[in-house]
Amino acid sequence: MTAVDATAGGSDPYRLGHDQESPTRQRTLGHADRGLVSKRIVTAFGFWIFLLSDIIMFSAFFAAYAVLVGETAGGPSGRELFNLNNVGIETAALLLSSFTVGLAGIGARAQSGSWFYGAMTATFILGAVFLSIELREFASMIARGAGPTRSAFLSAFFTLVGCHGLHITVGLLWLLTIMAQVLAKGYRADILRRILCFGLFWHALDIIWVGIFTVVYLMGVAL
Amino acid sequence: MSHVGQTHDLHTSDTAPGEQRIPRAEITEQIKSYLIGLGLAVPLTVMSFLISGTTLVWGPSIPVALVVLAIAQMGVHLVFFLHITTGPDSVNNVMALAFGLLIVFLILTGSLWIMANLNRNMGFPKETMPMQVEPGAAARSPIVVRTVTANGVVHPAATTPLSAHVSGQIQAVDCAPKMQVKAGQSCAKIDPRPYQIAVDRTRADLAAAETRLDKDKADLARAKAAFESHEGEAKRQALSRKAIERSRKAFEKVQTQTERDETRAAELQAALHAAEVSLGSTNIVSPIDGTVVSRNVEMGQKVVADSAKPLFLIAAIPTLIQIDAIISAKDSGGVKLGDKATFTVDTLPDHSFSGTVTQIRPSPQTSEPITAIGVVISAPNPDLLLKPGMAATIRIGAE
Amino acid sequence: MFGKLSWAAIPFDQPIPLIAGSIVIFVVLAVIAWIVLSGHLPYLWREWVTSVDHKRIGVMYVLLGLVMLLRGFIDAIMMRSQQAFAYRTPGYLPPEHYDQIFSAHGTIMIFFGAMPLVIGLMNFVVPLQLGVRDVAFPTLNSVGFWLTATGALLVNLSLVIGEFSRAGWLPYPPLSELTYSPGVGVDYYLWALEISGVGTLLAGINLITTILKLHAPGMTYMRMPMFCWTALASNLLIVAAFPILTATLTMLVLDRYFGFHFFTNEAGGNMMMFVNLIWAWGHPEVYILVLPAFGVFSEVVSTFSRRPLFGYRSMVAATMAICIISFTVWLHHFFTMGGGADVNAMFGIASMIIAVPTGVKIFNWLFTMYGGRIVYSTPMLWAIGFMVTFVIGGMTGVLLAMPPADFVLHESLFLVAHFHNVIIGSVLFGAFAGYAYWFPKAFGFRLHEGLGKAAFWLTLVGFYVVFVPLYIAGLSGMTRRLQHFDVAAWRPWILIAAIGILIMACAAACQIAQLVVSIRQREALRDQTGDPWNGRSLEWATPSPPPAFNFAVLPNVRGEEAYWGMKQRALEQAKLGEEPAYVDIEMPRNSPTGFVCAFFATFMGFALIWHIWWMVGLAALGAYATFVVFAWRDKDEYIIPAETVARIDRVNRSARNAVLARHEGAP
């Protein structure tokens, strides 16, 4: 398709630089001078921006936790409550699930049913393991009188870790929905885009978990 | 948005975040990146757990090590799982990530710095706030309708503050919260050296003053003897008036000097006494038997004499304790003053204590409609088994 | 069954909200009845409610913003009049009501007045200026708008069902905790903002992706119009700051609903932390509002000085510098809370530093005007008014940025006058300038110039008559948010301010009249070619209003000021470029997803406020179902055939050819 041309350089009376025709400049400016990019890139980039905003939200909860970590109001502190064996299993489950979700992405792009469904199922199971251990931990803490209403430290703990758990829950729901969609409609382009976004989401949750288990659990016990 | 006729040649456009740049390669090729990522992440994670759980690493450096390992793990995720690279095709993704990380850094460091300053300047948090109580555990409702259950916390009686009466640098801290202390037990020590030096100096000054005083006394005796003998001679008119004046003046001079030196010695004596008291005060001791409720001092901290903030709060172990409990308003109908209450504490689950309801009052947290009532239970504590801060599970009512 | 909701929630015993609410309900019902009875509902549903077209959504945002601006302005009139009456008397607004009014005034003006205005302008203009057909995520755009509308609806519902927050537009604990605000007011506030915050975040993600990833061929970053750069910076701030707001309000929600202890008096809560976190959002928020206004002024000043913008690169650098530095100044909102000298000094210095890039921008605008041939149209008047007003406000801001001065003046009317000075001077003037500038593009006819100029002058004069006395009263010691006062020295200033608000009310009336008159005279004011102002950027290359697909073929951009170059060449050659080869165009389908999502969000928010738990669950389920239904659709685009494209484009080409024929030879 032809386009309406414009004059070159006629609108730059102040000569504000830019050697517009230089090849190196054209190349390093990425796509912008070539115009349109694929939907896959646009969608994934938009989701990437959303994930960064989510990480900033988590950092606000982290900041609150760090400020309130000493406010146990005479109640139990992290050292008395945290069971590092459970945390270890949770971490292993989530790390492995990050690996399997990567496999699922590869399987989807290769349109291989066994890779895709197998890896997604494994991801779901590992995520469910993580969630069940975390829920049991919360329940036992509440039963011992160390619930979120006991002290500011516990409020911050339950909120930070609980928010991450909520994201995992939403992720598992999303996972099932995607599997259902692939089953119903196959490896369509828009569904492949969603699988890419889901992978980004799941990896980001594991990155946040690294922060949580280091700052909340390991430092809570060691310091 | 029209993209009719566009090609999707990966080599001439950006990469989506999360995408690998291996077009149409075999599955095994693509898995390699994830395997490497997993292979790096697992040992880093294991190291983190080992560092925190054991004494492999020198104590004070544990947080630094954990942070470094966490950053390494996040980096592994970004590179091997999310495929964020530094190539020109990934510029937007990297710039977005850098922006996000900058904001996270500003929020975390900014908030921590600001809150640390605010807390310190505004006397936050306040240790003497009354303990928060759990709302009544109505779920564990008893079979006997008339019994009401609640949770509460054993109240300390008045707390005695322990402050520094001299300034200096804390050299040792020997008491921690929940520790039992006896009267006279040392809880912290301020570096005594400056005070010791003051004591020594004062003592030396005093010694010198006393030596001078002795000399003065000897001079005085001599001058007095001289004067009296001159006086005697004056009576016999054997000496000129001038000579008598001279010896009298000398006597008076020595007298004044002696008085001055006596005063000086007395002052030094007092100063020595004060310096010794100060030296003694570098040892911060508990004035009573009791439990340490809170500690607000650390090794190496510089303290100021008689500052408003006490270094420790000690609670006498009372032989009569009080528990503040909250029960829900609907249960409160059956509770009246004088009702018996039995309770157990977490650390002694098999020991049943008993007390009586001595006060019924509005809960400190009122909201419309009123849902909770505050109840105070007093109980004797003859064996001193109940200590302040313990959580109690209470049953009120006729059995 | 209905939680805390009962007939007692309706203010039968308070005449003012009762009457005001009844009038609003009556007007709304009348408008809906007229729409349905005159058969406009299908058109409205098809073309506006379910539209995913960025132009339609932009117009709806601006409409929402203008209506809410009016509501917030009425709150302002009530406050000024109450203070004018209440010298040694109780006035006509009891404190419980007055407190709700100043809280609602701030909340509505910032979140539902200024934000929609600014986001609406960006939504409408950015894709046109970039030379593309729509934003990156059209349906998400619609969802974002309708969620914002949900928030506005909830806040306005509080007038008639229940009450609004009394804790100010930023609800500091412990006043906003359940103990001291046991009613539903703070809950209305919290859920309205949580829901509309999601909408704003979606708009932010959308516009960043659009600006960074969607361009016409040849439109590199350094060829984008300045408005797109400021839009980018503003949306980066949205994406960075709004998560902090969400997190902090969530902590307050958890305190109120579940008895958590983030900000309570006991069990270790720290209410200073609320202030810290909320202002870490609050300061970037004001830059979110002001940067697009700066962008509008860049466009308006260059167009109406008939010169390219001076110092484009330094403008870009200054914009991005403001974007980053705005995240390092937030403590200046609580110098007096006790951070100490070190902390106060650092943030005070940073607050002064941020004035530098702003000054760079002002000088660039002035240099653009210098040597130009200025046209004093309504948008240009708003721009000049902005330069004077904003600079004065900025200087009082730098004054307040010094902690010692702030210790004397904090929470006084001086502070109130300062922030109104900068916000009205920049955001309001910018919104009105953008409204006047792009109205012809959106609707195909210009606004009546005379009434526009009258509105400008009345606003400018009225503004100073209101706020200069408030500066003086603040220096004399009058604090903010006073329901009554008894210091004689302040009285004359409060009375003058009340006169000023009447002048501003006349200005508002002129704005409304301008719209009515322009619609009635629209044929006389018709924009024939799509370029009524002799513009320089790509949106003026389209007809007015642009067709759904914006450009028949995407333009090939060769230099800065893409459209100006094209136009000069056409004028030189006395003819347009060749007719392009038209092809079919794929456009995204309309979708009710946004509206339906917001429908469920409204019920969920209402149910959360009133503790109707079964309704919360149902609404959440409905929202999830909406998402799944949307994800399940098979056809998300429709095709505009090439003949239709050709027909629409040829109409515009003939109109432009006619103009060329009239202006043959003259530049």
Is A112 an 8 Å CB contact of chain B? yes
The segments of chain C whose pLDDT lies below 70 read: 664-667
Residue B373 token pair: 């009532």
Task: Tell me which residue in A7, A49, A54 faces C565 most closely, judged by beta carbons.
Answer: A7
Nearest to A64 by CA among C197, C246, C238: C246
Confidence of residue B131 (pLDDT cuts 50, 70, 90): very low
> Which residues does chain C have within 8 Å of residue B124's beta carbon, measured at their own beta carbons?
270, 272
> Between B138 and C493, where is the model more confident?
C493
Confidence of residue B380 (pLDDT cuts 50, 70, 90): confident
- The size of the A-C interface in CB pairs under 8 A is 212
Asked if residue A16 belongs to a domain, the reply is: no
**Which tens digits make up the pLDDT trace of B202-222?**
899 888 888 888 888 888 888
Residue B327 token pair: 């029960």
Kindly identify which residue of chain A lies nearest to residue C560, measuring between CA atoms. A11
- Residue B81, C-beta contacts closer than 8 angstroms, at least 6 positions apart: A98, A99, A102, A203, A206, B33, B34, B37
Helix (H, G, I), strand (E, B) or coil at B218: helix
- The size of the A-B interface in CB pairs under 8 A is 180
- Ordered strands of the B186-190 beta sheet: B283-285, B186-190, B168-173, B302-303
State the nearest Cα–Cα gap between B350 and chain A, in angstroms: 17
Task: Tell me which residue in C212, C267, C277 faces B132 most closely, judged by beta carbons.
Answer: C267
Q: Which B-chain residues 191-230 have CB contacts (< 8 A) with chain C?
A: none
Side chain identity, residue C531: D
Do the Cβ atoms of C273 and B115 come within 8 Å? Answer: yes
Do the Cβ atoms of C339 and B121 come within 8 Å? Answer: yes
Asked if residue A32 belongs to a domain, the reply is: no
Distance CA C305, CA A136 (A): 68
Residue C431 sits at φ, ψ, to 5 deg, of -65, -45
Residue A41 token pair: 């890139």
**Which tens digits make up the pLDDT trace of C339-354?**
999 999 999 999 999 9
Do the Cβ atoms of B17 and A48 come within 8 Å? Answer: yes
State the nearest Cα–Cα gap between C259 and chain A, in angstroms: 6
Do the Cβ atoms of C213 and A42 come within 8 Å? Answer: yes
User: CB neighbours (10 Å) of residue C376?
Assistant: 10
> Between C390 and A74, where is the model more confident?
C390
Q: Which A-chain residues 184-223 have CB contacts (< 8 A) with chain B?
A: 196-197, 199-200, 203, 206-207, 210-211, 213-215, 218-219, 221-223
Asked if residue A150 belongs to a domain, the reply is: yes
Average pLDDT of the residues in B75-104: 88
CATH 3.30.565.10 matches C1-76+88-289+592-632: no
**Which tens digits make up the pLDDT trace of A5-64?**
333 333 333 323 344 444 444 333 333 444 468 888 899 999 999 999 999 999 999 999
Task: Tell me which residue in B45, B53, B346 faces A95 most closely, judged by beta carbons.
Answer: B45
pTM above 0.90, yes or no: no
Distance CA B287, CA B317 (A): 13
Above 90 in pLDDT, residue B26? no
Kindly identify which residue of chain B lies nearest to residue C208, measuring between CA atoms. B96
Residue B321 sits at φ, ψ, to 5 deg, of -115, 165
- Residue B290, C-beta contacts closer than 8 angstroms, at least 6 positions apart: B160, B180, B181, B314, B315, B316, B317
Residue A179 belongs to domain with CATH number: 1.20.120.80
Q: What's the confidence (pLDDT) of residue C215?
A: 86
Q: What's the confidence (pLDDT) of residue B145?
A: 40
**Which tens digits make up the pLDDT trace of C81-98?**
999 999 999 999 999 999
Distance CA C161, CA A35 (A): 51
Asked if residue A1 belongs to a domain, the reply is: no
Distance CA C658, CA C333 (A): 57
Q: What's the confidence (pLDDT) of residue C435?
A: 97
Task: Tell me which residue in C265, C327, C343 faces B113 most closely, judged by beta carbons.
Answer: C343
Q: Which A-chain residues 31-90 have CB contacts (< 8 A) with chain B?
A: 31, 34, 36-41, 43-45, 47-49, 52-53, 55-56, 59-60, 62-63, 66-67, 70-71, 73-75, 84, 88
Task: Tell me which residue in B42, B66, B92 faces A45 most closely, judged by beta carbons.
Answer: B92
> Between C575 and B136, where is the model more confident?
C575
Q: What's the confidence (pLDDT) of residue B338?
A: 77
Task: Tell me which residue in C136, C244, C554 faces B107 most closely, judged by beta carbons.
Answer: C244
Q: What's the confidence (pLDDT) of residue B158?
A: 63
Residue in the structure block whose two tokens are 């909406």: C626
Question: Which range, of B45-59, B99-113, C617-631, averages the lowest pLDDT?
Answer: B45-59
Residue in the structure block whose two tokens are 């932010």: C204
Do the Cβ atoms of C178 and B365 come within 8 Å? Answer: yes
Residue in the structure block whose two tokens are 């560092």: B51
Domain count across chain A? 1
Is B103 an 8 Å CB contact of chain C? yes
Q: What's the confidence (pLDDT) of residue B330?
A: 62
* Dihedral sign of CA atoms B90, B92, B93, B94 in order: positive
Q: What's the confidence (pLDDT) of residue B175?
A: 87
| C146 contacts C598 by C-beta, under 8 angstroms | yes
Asked if residue A193 belongs to a domain, the reply is: yes
Residue A147 token pair: 């619930």
Is B88 an 8 Å CB contact of chain C? no
Alpha carbon B66 to its chain centroid, in Å, reads 25
Do the Cβ atoms of C559 and A12 come within 8 Å? Answer: yes
Residue in the structure block whose two tokens are 């070159």: A8
Q: What's the confidence (pLDDT) of residue C576?
A: 82
Pairing of strands B168-173, C637-640: unpaired
C neighbour chains, 3+ CB pairs within 8 Å? A, B
State the nearest Cα–Cα gap between A49 and chain C, in angstroms: 6
Above 60 in pLDDT, residue B151? yes
B neighbour chains, 3+ CB pairs within 8 Å? A, C
Task: Tell me which residue in C209, C259, C270 faces A46 most closely, judged by beta carbons.
Answer: C209
* Domain hosting residue A43, numbered range: 37-65+84-222
Asked if residue A94 belongs to a domain, the reply is: yes
User: CB neighbours (10 Å) of residue C637?
Assistant: 11
Distance CA C525, CA C519 (A): 9
Q: What's the confidence (pLDDT) of residue B271?
A: 85
Nearest to A214 by CA among B116, B39, C251, B51: B51
Task: Tell me which residue in B5, B13, B153 faces A37 most closely, judged by beta carbons.
Answer: B13
Is B320 an 8 Å CB contact of chain A? no
State the nearest Cα–Cα gap between B367 and chain C, in angstroms: 6
Distance CA C146, CA C115 (A): 14
Interface test with A, best of B2, B10, B19 (most A CBs within 10 A): B19
Side chain identity, residue C62: V
> Between B10 and C74, where is the model more confident?
C74
Task: Name the residue ranges covered by the structural domains of chain C.
Answer: 1-76+88-289+592-632
Asked if residue A21 belongs to a domain, the reply is: no
Asked if residue A22 belongs to a domain, the reply is: no
